[in-house]
Structure 1
Amino acid sequence: MSIWGSFSRSRESKKEYEKSGLPGGVKLALLAVLTLFCALSGLCLGSTVIDLPAALSGVLSGDLASAQSRILLYVRLPRVIASLLSGAALSVSGMLLQAVLSNPLAAPNVIGVNAGAGFFTFLSMALLPGVRGAGQLGAFFGALVAVVLVLAVSAGAGRLTIILSGVAVSSIFTAGINTVKTFCPDTLYNGSAFLIGGFSGVSLRDLSPAWAVILLALGLSLGLSPQADLLGLGETPARSLGMNVSLTRLALILLSCVLAGCAVSFSGLLGFVGLLAPHIVRRLFKESKTSHRLLLPAAALLGAGFVTLCDLLSRLLFAPYELPVGILLSFVGGPFFLYLLIRERRRVL
């Protein structure tokens, strides 16, 4: 090989490195740091700024005489944990749905998964009042029913048909939520806030057993990342490589429903998290946009930090009044979804 040839290849390698930017592992570490910063800010800031080390010391020692320790234990800590869990769950759920449906517009709230989970949460609490875990189980079942309905209606159709089917399914389940709420107004405390989505009044008790199921589902999703990569190649190449496409799709759909359902059970109908986070992650990790082994944990971290930051802003922007975080997410996610629709229409044309 000539010296000029070696020089040319080194220049090409340098251009490829500059184009790719930071390595994926470094980007993932930076996301983890940003998420941790958002979580610590959520614990410290609010209508009352607390001294986190002093308050944490009181909580760990069991001395809750300090008002700051009580605020940390009963208000801030449950909110931050809930926002981290729901953000990670909804983001990974959206990433899995996009992989299964091969549709960049798919997200839990867009195709009716959130609405289905919300309806069956209300219904299970109306039919089984006081039964622990009924809400979480109903949320998972509702998310699964919504996905099955959308897939059945839009089988063999294009991407936009899936979205339109999801809008129709979401409308039906939303009407069901309002019906249960009308006939059983005491089914869920602060039901209006549930429909908007938010973490006001959430307690550590409300997160059980959803937190354990979410962590387990996130781990299983990461374990199935190679199968998600193969599925992204297309059905025919995946089959040729020996993958059971139907079984893999079913497993990923079930995991997506578990994640979305558990998140909805304590956070309400938060919208657009599962749409925003996967798209931003794919832009950040352009060099690894088909590797779910990297994309899934990145989506979980970004979604967790993003929802925690939005919850913090919802408490600070109009303090001492609080804006439900679901409203803030809709203000951000609505225009972004319209942008994606316009881009998708231009691509079709």
Structure 2
Amino acid sequence: MRTSWERALPGHGRAVVVTGASGGVGRAAALAFAARGDRVALLARGREGLAAAADEVQRAGGEALAVTVDMADAKAVDDAAQQVADAFGRIDVWVNNAFTGIYAPFTEISPDEFRRVTEVTYLGYVFGTRAALRHMLPRDRGTVVQVGSALAYRGIPLQSAYCGAKHAIQGFNESLRCELLHQGSRVRTTMVQLPAVNTPQFDWVLNRLPGRARPVPPVFQPEVAARAIVHAAGHGRRREYWVGGATVATLLANAVAPGLLDRYLARTGFEAQQDGGEAGPAGPGNLWTPADGPHGRDFGAHGRFDEEAVAGGPQEWVSRNRTRVGAGVLAGGLGAVMTAGLRRRGRAPRS
């Protein structure tokens, strides 16, 4: 359901920006927004993927604007945001999703490589948020969606640069959210914590493992993530969304017994992130240049794990309706307490 200010927007739906929109979760999210009739600006480095994504957005019913930009370049991000505002008249929703990563032990990652992951995956969100706020704050409306991960709370082996960046995004977003609340602003920021998703990233990122990189099961289809992002964009008052039962279990386990989880991941985390018997890809992946260009191909939204990926589940509904579920649990609990009290007084029949 759209909020009141979304229903009042003129034109053909909201003006939405999705970073990292050439593939994976960003690609799926762009299509989900387009299916609602939104105008979608697609930001990414790869020209092949952007062109294909823009074509899909238009076929899905949205209006597309493809902008080639490196999210680690603050000036380029500002220019991209201005280009979107000039084309669409405003920016209603900004989705930060672009990232890069490295599969390797920390000691095998060079300082320049670690810095690059941090600049794209963390500072790219900072620069994107700053650019979005420059257009949202004067209008006192808009929503920034930070696409996070269970790894924003729980680091795992072989992904130190990525986990560090996601933790940084979490802290940055909480700080910004407090500032906006203090100002009484109607601009919202929210975060969507994702599980393992079936995207092409596992064949993109720099990989120094013996085996081919893979997500830790269970794996979800990118459309699951896309639905959560679209929902969060329309319900920005919620500070956070947890997507997938595995995300919920991981975050709760980390809150209760982080040391035990350390030991568990030390035993299982290396093998779980590799396909046995398959050599990892050579080359720098998409760390320094886009994986799809200049003479590459379009990778789309899905990776190579379609056979095992889950397309949805009950936790998806629970996450979107947490308030309703909580009210039901509270009402049930109060009912049980009242019934127990009446029974003690002999006023309630026993079943």
Question: Shorter-chain TM-score: what band?
Answer: under 0.3
Q: Higher relative contact order at CA 8 Å, sep ≥6: structure 1 or structure 2?
A: 1
Q: TM-score, normalised by structure 1?
A: 0.25
**Structure that is richer in helix per residue:** 1
Q: TM-score, normalised by structure 2?
A: 0.25
**Structure that is richer in strand per residue:** 2
